[in-house]
Amino acid sequence: MKAIPRYESALMSMSPSEASTRAEQLRSELHRHNHLYYVEARQEISDAEFDALLRELQQIEAQFPDLLTPDSPTQRVGGAPIEGFTQIKHTVPMMSLDNTYSEQELVAFFQRLQKSLGRERIPCVIEPKVDGVAISIRYENGVLKHGATRGDGQTGDDVTHNLKTIKSLPLRLPKEAPQNFEVRGEVFMTKANFAKLNEEREGAGEARFANPRNSTAGTLKLLDPKTVAKRPLDIVFYGLADVTGIAIESQSEMHRLLQTAGLRKADLIWHKDSAEGLLEAIRELDEKRRSLPYETDGAVIKVDAFLDQRELGSTSKAPRWAIAYKYQPEQAETKLLSMDIQVGRTGALTPVARLTPVFLSGSTVSNATLHNFEEIERKDIRVGDTVVIEKAGEIIPAVVMVKKELRTGEEQPIQPPTHCPICDTAVHRDEEQVVIRCPNPSCPEVVKRRLEHFVCRGAMDISGLGESVVAQLVEAKLVKDAADLYQLNELLLARLERMGTKSIDNLLKALEVSKQQDPWRLVFGLGILHVGAGGARKLLEHFGSIDAIASASVEELTQCPDIGAIVAPSIHAWFHDEANLTLLQRLRSAGLTFVQRAVQATSDRLKGTTWVITGTLSQERESMADIIRSHGGKVSGSVSGKTSFLLAGDEAGSKLDNATKLGVKIVTEPEFRDMIGG
Ligand code: IVH
């Protein structure tokens, strides 16, 4: 389909037939994005872009009511339920909210309230709009009965098992709380957990999630709660449904009820009763929201008193007593100077935009992702274009749109590559035709990426082998795989630029030392698709040696904790590939460690204690964890009531905050060294 311009509306001058074509185009585009978002848990356009398309369609349908079809995306609330989950019917439908990006429209909303209720002052509450996934949870006789996603607003997917992995979610309510109700909230992944998950996915050769909401939706959709538990989710609540028999009369009273029930409510709440007050609150929230642990994309403004809410009523989709005020994502305009293609470890070719440097959300940006070539075509992005880039939270900036009105005619269209820009092998497209890959396992760029991964800190941790040395080794044809690294000698290394005797000596020593690395590091370093550092550790804990992993059946592999239905076949296939087996054999001959050594008990000074590690320390986290274990301590990934100590290095983040809140003792590295006897 031809790319359709966004943020543009030539509505006023549209003929009925133009309007009909445009409406059809918008409907099919919106359906496609809805499906991507709700069913595939991914996103190609920002929320603001989606809203702009939806609004344009609403405007057309308002002006040409004949064009309104019952299946129009403007007529539905959510997305289609996912196959594979049982469906749950919501006792009260889950509605959506009208939203606005303008302060003026927010004032108009308040004026409508004043008019309808015939009063000047109308008490409202303002809460952050948490950018996660809407959930409805039912408690019966004080026990969590089930929880479901919004689905189409009437019926959602039963995700109870996945919700039960959320530590802050009570499975049983305290006696003093009402025992039967349905409660509505938002499931989210904290920014810190999101960053960690993406790091792990990158390590396992998997695609990064674009934002915390996508990763939350993707996580809730998983059928295996074991995997879900490894991706910590959290929840905040903002509303009640089915309040029969519960004596509450306002949103503020509901906040108190949530407190009594031990259900987490919004971290920031304002009470205002005038239009000026609302504006004050949304501006304050904009200043504070970046320090919240979760991503927020706006504020939700609700009339406080249920009596007023009932009087105002609802339309078929949204209540008249509430509105979402959304913050504009931070954007900047700049020039697209050129497009480069990055070749990844799996051969994936990713287009990257080189930009005239521009300041955006606290940093200077000169590169942005173009996602994939389909996206370039859909948005009609050309070299020389003035483009709008956007950065939401800590996400890599992306090109969101082209300023076509600024074109001079000199702009050059971008063609998807037919051959790898590095080795000239004809490219492969995946089934959905989105990812273009270089299929050549000897492509020098693929080889470099694989070697960089093999030697990186989280894998074999071989210092002295930075990007430039790896590049030189590959270009000089001295190394084409990991086993070749162990054939290097002084003579060969002396051929490289800027390699003095000292660097050569250090590198050869580092390679020698790496032969003693734990075998899980080797398994991780091999870059088996879907096997991250955590998975590799579990494999060795379970099987004890690389040979045992290699000879395990898919079924035996799934017996290993954390190895599920997707990872097991990937491991099995890797160990049944001739070329991989030859590589393993050569690594074995070079003297690398294939059998797991038991952790040597050094002392029992830390016996009975549970530790969480955070921030930058003198050694990497896993090595610190091994030290703790060798002194009899336990190591856990997150701070809870059971944590005895937090070992905190520099730039400690949310774990430090949590530990402080829970009164967990915080220990610096020197203090820790003292505790274990230096
Ligand atoms: S109140 C009748 N409060 O935003 C719907 N919603 O576009 C009442 N959301 O579906 C919703 N934070 O998933 C409300 N503090 C908050 C919220 C919130 C996030 C989500 C929710 C809702 C969507 C509306």
DSSP string, 311-352: HH-B-SSSBTTEEEEEPPPEEEEEEEEEEEEEE-TT-EEEEE
SS3 (DSSP) at 23: helix
3-state secondary structure of 142: coil
197 contact partners, CB below 8 Å, separation of at least 6: 189, 209, 215, 231
CB 353 within 8 A of CB 399: yes
For the Cβ of 186 lying below 6 angstroms from any atom of ligand 1, the answer is yes
Across residues 419-435, what is the average pLDDT?
86
Reply yes or no on whether 665 is catalytic. Answer: no
Tokens of 344: 């990844």
Q: Is residue 178 part of a domain?
A: yes
On whether both 433 and 449 belong to a single domain, the answer is no
125 lines ligand 1 (CB under 6 A): no
Cβ–ligand 1 distance for 237 under 6 Å, the answer no
**d(CA 96, ligand 1 centre) in Å:** 7
Confidence of residue 9 (pLDDT cuts 50, 70, 90): very low
CB of 266 closer than 6 A to ligand 1? Answer: yes
- Residue where a domain stops, chosen among 303, 326, 349: 326
- In a domain? residue 573: yes
Is there a single domain that holds both residue 111 and residue 214? yes
What is the number of domains present in the chain? 5
Q: Confidence band (pLDDT; 50, 70, 90) for 472? A: very high
Q: Does some domain include residue 598? A: no
Assess whether pLDDT exceeds 80 at residue 2: no
Q: How far apart are CA 662 and CA 671, in angstroms?
A: 20
Determine the pLDDT at residue 35: 63
For residue 129, the CA-to-ligand 1 centroid distance in Å is: 6
Nearest CA to ligand 1 atom 23: 96
190 with 394: CB under 8 angstroms? no
Q: Do 100 and 26 share a domain, yes or no?
A: no
Q: What is the pTM of this model?
A: 0.64
Domain contains 595: no
Q: In this structure, is residue 603 part of a structural domain?
A: no
Cα of 294 from ligand 1 centre, angstroms? 15
Please give the residue that has the higher pLDDT: either 303 or 331: 303
| Ligand 1 pocket, residue 235 CB under 6 Å | no
Q: Is residue 596 part of a domain?
A: no
Tell how far the Cα of 527 is from the centroid of ligand 1, in angstroms: 41
Q: Which helix (H) or strand (E) holds 352?
A: strand 348-360
Same domain, 454 and 419: no
CA-closest candidate to residue 263, choices 236, 240, 241: 236
- How many other CB atoms sit within 10 Å of the CB of residue 413? 11
How many Cα atoms within 13 Å fall on the side-chain side of residue 257? Answer: 22
Q: Is the CB of 523 under 6 A from ligand 1?
A: no
How many other C-beta atoms are found inside a 10 Å radius of the C-beta of residue 433? 11
**What distance, in Å, lies between the first and last C-alpha atoms of the chain?**
67
What order of strands is seen across the sheet that includes strand 270-272? Answer: 99-100, 322-326, 296-303, 124-130, 270-272
Co-location of 95 and 43 in the same domain: no
Q: Which residue is closest in CA terms to ligand 1's atom 2?
A: 95
Report whether residue 300 contacts ligand 1, using a CB cutoff of 6 Å: yes
CATH number at residue 385: 2.40.50.140
Do 145 and 198 belong together in one domain?
yes
Whether the per-residue pLDDT at 79 is higher than 60: the answer is no
322: CA distance to ligand 1 center in Å? 9
Calculate what percentage of the chain has a pLDDT beyond 70.
Answer: 94
**Is it the case that residue 189 has pLDDT exceeding 80?**
yes
Residue to probe by mutation, ligand 1, list 50, 99, 129, most atoms within 8 Å of CB: 129
Q: What is the rounded CA–CA span in Å between residue 493 and residue 515? A: 19
Q: Which residue has the least CA distance to atom 12 on ligand 1?
A: 129
Mind listing the pLDDT tens digit for each residue in 20-64? 999 989 988 887 787 666 545 567 787 778 888 888 998 898 888
Beta carbons within 8 Å of 187's beta carbon, 6+ residues apart: 132, 133, 135, 163, 166, 216, 220, 233, 234, 235
Cα 186 to ligand 1 centre (Å): 7
For the segment 443-450, the average pLDDT, to the nearest whole number, is 96
Asked if 207 and 138 sit in the same domain, the reply is yes
Cα of 26 from ligand 1 centre, angstroms: 25
Q: Mean per-residue pLDDT for 333-355? A: 94
CATH code at 191? 3.30.470.30
Residue 158 near ligand 1, beta carbon < 6 Å: no
Q: Which domain holds residue 488?
A: 444-589
| Same domain, residue pair 569 and 527 | yes
Query: Contact 545/596 with Cβ under 8 angstroms?
Result: yes
Q: Ligand 1 within 6 A of 324 CB?
A: yes
Q: Report the nearest atom of ligand 1 relative to the CA of 128.
A: 15
Question: Given the CA of residue 150, which atom of ligand 1 is nearest to it?
Answer: 10
Q: What is the CATH number of the domain that holds 30?
A: 1.10.287.610
Is 299 touching ligand 1 by the criterion CB < 6 Å?
A: no
Query: Phi-psi bin for 353: left (phi > 0), alpha (psi -120 to 50), beta?
Result: beta
What digits encode the pLDDT tens for the residues 86-120? 899 999 999 999 999 999 999 999 999 999 999 99
Q: Give the chain's mean pLDDT.
A: 88
Residue 490 alpha carbon to ligand 1 centre in Å: 64
In this structure, the chain runs to a length of 678
The answer to whether residues 496 and 566 belong to one domain is yes
Residue entry with tokens 């990426």: 449
Any ligand 1 atom below 6 A from CB of 183? no
- The predicted pLDDT at position 133 comes to 95
| Residue 328 pLDDT level (bands cut at 50, 70, 90) | confident
Closest ligand 1 atom to 99 CA: 7
**381 in contact with ligand 1, CB cutoff 6 A:** no
Domain boundary among 294, 326, 358: 326
Quick one: 102 and 237 in the same domain?
yes
What is the number of other CB atoms lying within 10 angstroms of the CB of residue 111?
Answer: 11
State the closest ligand 1 atom to the C-alpha of 95, by its place in the atom list counted from 1.
Answer: 2
**Residue of minimum CA distance from atom 22 in ligand 1:** 96
Give 619's DSSP letter: S
Beta strands in 90-199, from DSSP E residues, in sequence order? 99-100, 124-130, 133-140, 143-149, 155-157, 181-188
Got the DSSP string for 50-90? HHHHHHHHHHHHHH-GGG--TT-GGG--S-PPPTTS-EEE-
* 269 touches 302 (CB < 8 A): no
- Angular region, 371: left φ>0, alpha ψ -120 to 50, beta rest: left
SS3 content of the chain, % helix, strand, coil (to 5): 40, 20, 40
Q: Say whether pLDDT at 4 is over 50.
A: no
Structure tokens at 158: 């039963």
Closest residue to atom 9 of ligand 1, CA basis: 129
Question: What pLDDT, on the 0 to 100 scale, is given for residue 435?
Answer: 83
The pair phi, psi for residue 36, each rounded to 5°, is -55, -45
Does the pLDDT of residue 396 top 70, yes or no?
yes
- CA 478/CA 397 separation, integer angstroms: 37
Which residue's CA is the closest to the ligand 1 atom numbered 17?
Answer: 129
Q: Which of 89, 129, 477, 655 is catalytic?
A: 129
CATH number, domain at 627?
A: 3.40.50.10190
For position 526, which CATH number holds? 1.10.150.20
DSSP string, 503-522: HHHHHHHHHHHHTTS-HHHH
In a shared domain, residues 320 and 353: no
647 within ligand 1 shell (Cβ under 6 A)? no
In angstroms, the CA 188 to CA 215 distance is 9
Q: What is the tens place of the pLDDT at every residue in 260-318?
A: 999 999 989 999 999 999 999 999 999 999 889 998 989 999 999 999 999 999 987 89
Per-residue confidence (pLDDT) for residue 64, from 0 to 100 = 85
Closest-CA residue, ligand 1 atom 4, reads 129
Instruction: Classify residue 241: in a domain, yes or no.
Output: yes
CA distances from 334 to 44, 117, 400 (A): 21, 47, 12
Is there a domain that residue 358 lies in? Answer: yes
Alpha carbon distances (Å) from 559 to 228, 571, 573, 597: 17, 13, 17, 21
448, 433: one domain: no
User: Which pair of tokens denotes residue 236?
Assistant: 């905040």
Give the C-alpha distances (Å, rounded to integers) separating 344 from 435, 444, 446, 536, 660.
Answer: 11, 11, 6, 21, 40
Residue that finishes a domain, picked among 531, 559, 589: 589
Handedness of CA 477, 483, 485, 486 (dihedral sign): negative
